[in-house]
Amino acid sequence: NKSMSNVVYIALCSRLITLLLMITSNTLLPDHKATDALYFPGNIDNDSALGSFVKWDSAWFLKIAKTGYPTFRSDPTSEQTYAFFPLFPWLIKALSKSFEFLFPLRDSDALLVVSSVVISNLAFIGSAVVLRANCSRLRFSDDETFRTVLAFCFNPASVFFSSCYAESVFSLLSFAGLALLIAGRKFLGCLCLCLATFARSNGILNALMVFPIEFHQFHLSKAKHEHSPLRTAAKIALAVSEALFVALPYFCVQINAYYVFCSKTQERPNWCDYKVPSIYSYIQSEYWKV
C-alpha cells in the first residue's frame, strides 16, 4: 500500500545518502591511524570507493568470510575473530560465490565487499518495512509510526547499517522475530530471534522478549479458560525452552571456541581455566578493556 511504499522510499533514500557520505568522506578526509586496527587482508585500496567499507569491524567480518575462523591460536588476532558471530560472514560468502558465478573475471575480494554492502542495505530496507508493520500491530498512530521509521532510517549510527557490519541483518531478524511472536507464530518467531543471535552476540538479550509475550498471551487465555497449576508450569517451561533456543547460538560459539583453543595442552590460553570459560568475555576484557 501507499504507506508501505513510502517507508521503502524513505529507507532507500537514507541508504543512498549514507553511502554517498561514506564514499565522499573516505575520499576527502584522512583516515584515523589506529595502531591496533585490523585492515582487511584483501586486494582493496583503502582510499577507493570500496575502501569506504573495509574499516574497523568490517575488516573482521570480511576476513571471516574470506578465510573462515582460525582452527588454532596462530596469532594474537585469532581469538578476537570469535567476537564476530558467523551468520553475516556466511551470507557474505554465499552471495559473493553467486556473484563469482555470474561475473567470473571479477576480483573475489571486491565481490566480498560488494556482497556485504548489498546485504546490509537490503536488510536495512527490510528492517524499516518490518518496523513499520510492528508499529501498526502495536497500534501506533500514523504520526508516531512515521516518526519511528524516520528516526530509525536517519539514526546517528546509520553508517553501521550500510557498511560491512551485522547491524542491519540483526535488526531485520529481531524485528521479524518480534512481529511473529506477537502474531502467535512462536516457532518462526523464535527461529528469527535465534538467527539474530547467530548474527550478533547481544541477540542473547532477545531471549528476554519471549517471557512478556508468552505471559501476556497466557493471561489472555486464562481470562477465558481456567488453568491448572500443571498447565501454568508447562507454560513457564515452554517460555524457558524458547528463551534457551534463542540464546543457543551464543553458547555454540563459546563451546566451539573452547574446543579450538582449550582442547590442546600446548599454548592453552588463560581464559580456558576460568570458572566460566567464555572467550567473548575474555576478548572484551583483554582486548577491548570493557
For residue 38, the model assigns a pLDDT of: 63
pLDDT tens by residue, 236-261:
888 899 999 999 999 999 999 988 88
For residue 56, the model assigns a pLDDT of: 80
Q: Looking at the predicted structure, is the pLDDT value of residue 218 above 80?
A: no
Q: Which residues contact 115 (CB under 8 A, 6 or more apart)?
A: 65, 91, 92, 93, 95, 96, 99
pLDDT tens by residue, 116-164:
999 999 999 999 999 999 998 888 888 898 999 999 999 989 999 999 9
In this structure, are residues 203 and 174 in contact, taking their beta carbons and an 8 Å threshold?
A: yes
Q: Terminus-to-terminus CA distance in the chain, angstroms?
A: 46
Q: Looking at the predicted structure, is the pLDDT value of residue 226 above 80?
A: no
pLDDT confidence bin for 213, thresholds 50/70/90: confident
Across the chain, what does the average pLDDT equal?
85
Average pLDDT in the 37-54 region? Answer: 69
Q: CA 205 to CA 247: how far, in whole Å? A: 8
**Cell numbers placing 2:** 501507499
Average pLDDT in the 164-174 region? Answer: 96
